[in-house]
Amino acid sequence: MSWIYLDNNATTKIDPQVLDAMLPFLQESYGNASSVQHRIGREANQAVALARQQIAQKFDVKDSEIFFNSGATEGINTVLRGIAYAYVRKGKHIITCQTEHKTVLTTCSQLERNGIEITYLPVSQSGELDLQLLRDSIRPDTILVCIMAANNESGVVHPISAIAHICQEKDVLFFCDATQLVAKQEVNLKQIPIDILTFSAHKFHGPKGVGALYVRRKRKPIQIPPLISGGQQENGFRGGTLDVPSIVGCGKALEIANSHPEIRQYRDYLEDQIRLKIPEVIIHGEQVSRLNNTSFIAFRHIKAAELMTALPHIALSSGSACTSGLLDPSHVLKAMGVRDDDAFASIRFSFSKFTTRTDVEQTVNDLAQTVQRLRSSSPIWQLFKEGVID
């Protein structure tokens, strides 16, 4: 039986074009990008400059506004900790959202223990933010609004342009974790006044362990002290020898990325067929704008872990890869008001440009058979059918 990979919000297969672009900098032009005194070092330095240019062009920003790092986790820590430290004289209030990635929530929790006040905005049952509540939550001592572009579990897309304009109007910095949106939808930072943005390359068929921060050049420069001190790499913003092959891969992956409209068709087909063939399912966030590649579905009265174990040839997830080892239900679904038993029954399907129609058809058929088999032997399902539980 062939392997089907539908966990692309966790990570993606590297694109062959990306790998081809990286290999020369592993085998031939392997110099240190800071060693510009010799040819091999200059080749590495020029490759980094090209990657920076590729990313800047994709966002319609200046090359000097792009800073390479190890990915969004580092970017989030750099910004949240750095802003809290650098702007402490202005205020100690940060606004974020209950459905943010655990990296944001964990870092904010640590900042709270150091005297920073965090406002966690709620979401609706469909996962949407209340923009008026955001506006009303901004105070004179608010130093940062931190809202993700798209949720990694539900796929719900937030109106980042509207959020950015609210923050601009209120003269407060807006930091956006765009990890799941970059390369899936256009993000034009000349048109959307986001101040700081972060992403990881491995979410769009680039290598793992590399990403970037965008920091807008403003009349009054944004103050973010480096999280990692060292040399003057990245204009002193992030110390350490640059990972040239990965940076090259990051730039190439973003350069060749496009939206692939067939992915939306696969997602819609999956959801339509699941509704048709499997009773008692809930598609989280289906009423609002979602990523074209993401579907988060509860198969009621079955444990997601049990269902995934019964489908070993299909790579699926019960939510964020960063929290999949936890015994608690998804914090995203809890924030959306989903009850625990439905949260524990939820599986995320996330597609990529390498997903095929055959993959989706096989997944639907195998799901339908497996759900029927598991429910037929489930006492809980029998109680539901008899009306004892809902």
Domain layout of the chain by residue ranges:
16-256, 259-386
CA distance 174 to 136: 15
CA distance 55 to 211: 10
Angle in degrees, CA 18, 79, 174, rounded to 5: 95
Nearest to 225 by CA among 211, 214, 240, 236: 236
CATH 3.40.640.10 fits 16-256, yes or no: yes
In the chain, what is the straight-line distance between the N-terminal and C-terminal CA atoms, in Å?
A: 36
CATH 3.40.50.1370 fits 259-386, yes or no: no
Spacing of C-alpha 21 from chain mean position? 24
Contact in structure between 95 and 121 (CB atoms under 8 Å): yes
* R_g of the chain, CA atoms, integer Å: 22
| Same CATH fold assignment for domains 16-256 and 259-386 | no
Structure confidence at residue 25 (pLDDT): 98
Residues designated catalytic: 322
Q: What is the pLDDT along the chain (390 residues), one digit of tens a residue?
A: 689 999 999 999 999 999 999 999 999 999 999 999 999 999 999 999 999 999 999 999 999 999 999 999 999 999 999 999 999 999 999 999 999 999 999 999 999 999 999 999 999 999 999 999 999 999 999 999 999 999 999 999 999 999 999 999 999 999 999 999 999 999 999 999 999 999 999 999 999 999 999 999 998 899 999 999 988 899 889 999 999 999 999 999 999 998 799 999 999 999 999 999 999 999 999 999 999 999 999 999 999 999 999 999 999 998 755 555 557 899 999 999 999 999 999 999 999 999 999 999 999 999 999 999 999 998 888 889 888 998
Structure confidence at residue 327 (pLDDT): 72
Joined together, the tokens standing for residue 103 give 């990296």
Structure confidence at residue 321 (pLDDT): 56
